[in-house]
Every structure is written in structure tokens, then in C-alpha cells.
Amino acid sequence: MDSWKRLLLENKAWAQDKASHTAEDRPGADKPEFLWIGCSDARVPAERLTGASSGELFVHRNVANLVVHTDVNLLAVLECAVGHIGVEHVVVCGHYECLGIRAAQSRETHGMMDAWLNHVKDTWRAHKDELDLHDEAAAHRRLVELNVMQQVRNLARTTVVQRAWKSAKRPTLHGWVYDPHDFLIRPLVRVDADTPLDAVHQLTSLD
């Protein structure tokens, strides 16, 4: 059987199983509490990692779980989740053995990915002295963590988040990392409305 046909058959089986359940039966179906920004890697689906039910997570995924200030796609998702749905938490979750991070560390060209991965390389350059102290495996794991923490900082610098902090004291930002060896998610950083920001990135006139 063609692989794409199997996916459609699996969908039919799932639909039959769910047919008796309405939206009201599913927790959070109308108002998810979390925006999840994760990696596009097929091994790290947000719902499976967290055991979340359908409707509990508003999800955005891209290569290496980046928050890029010129990424209109991500900013639209952020505006929708924070400004309109009113999520209480935004999670950036990276993972060890990330192919995007490995590609950024390789110094080889990866075609159209190169421009995107330069954002990871910027984090690598900023922490090069620390990363040079590690062997290759440890440096990869540490860069995964540093990348997550940088993306949380990037979130805190957005107009969307700062406006929500001023008006509603939400959302709380979380940086997490998933380890595929023990299947556990570990928190790295947390930032909320009361966390001081560098004055350079503190926005005014947000009304």
C-alpha cells in the first residue's frame, strides 16, 4: 500500500473513533491555554510529548524552533494566540539531537536553510568561548539549550508580548528542552510580565 494511502485510512479510523465526541467534550477545544513553539522534526510532536488533548495547544513549528523578528508567519501565530485567544503561556521547546542545530554547527551549505540557520549561528557566535570548552556532543546539547533561551528572549522583545504584559500581565514565557533518550522535558528559563528587560528592548506607547 502507498504510504499516503495509509495516512488517509488512519484518518478514517480516527474520525470514526471521534465521531461521537463534540467540541464541548474536548478540554480546551475553544480556548487553548498554551502556545507551543517547537521544532518541525517529526520525532517531537507537541501533543505526544505532553500528553495534551486535542485543542489544548495552539502549535507553531519550524526548523530549530526559532523566534525570528522578521518571520511574519510566526508573528501572525503569536498575535492570534496572545492577542486574540488570550493564551496564558507560551512555550519554546527545543530538543537534543536537533537536525537544525547540527546543520548550523556543520559549516556546510544547506541551500535555502542557510539563511534561516544563520540565526542559530548568531547564538553560537555569541557563546563561542563557552561552547569551545565542550566536546562535540556536549557542545551540541549546550547550543540546543542556548538557542531555546535566546528564542524566549526574542519573544519577550516582541510588541505582541509586551502589549499583553502591560494590559493583562500575561503570558508567561517558558523555555524547555526535550531529551529523546529519557523522553523527559526539562525547564530552562521562565520569563513573565514582571521580569526586567534590557532598556534597549523595552517598548513604550503600547496602548
What are the catalytic residues? Answer: 39, 41, 43, 95, 98
Q: Mutual orientation of helices 113-126 and 136-156 as an angle, nearest 10°?
A: 100
| Phi and psi at residue 61, to the nearest 5° | -130, 140
Among 153, 139, 75, which Cα is nearest to 104's? 139
Q: What residues contact 40, with CB distance under 8 A and at least 6 apart?
A: 61, 62, 63, 100
CA distances from 92 to 127, 185, 206 (A): 20, 11, 24
DSSP state of 79: I
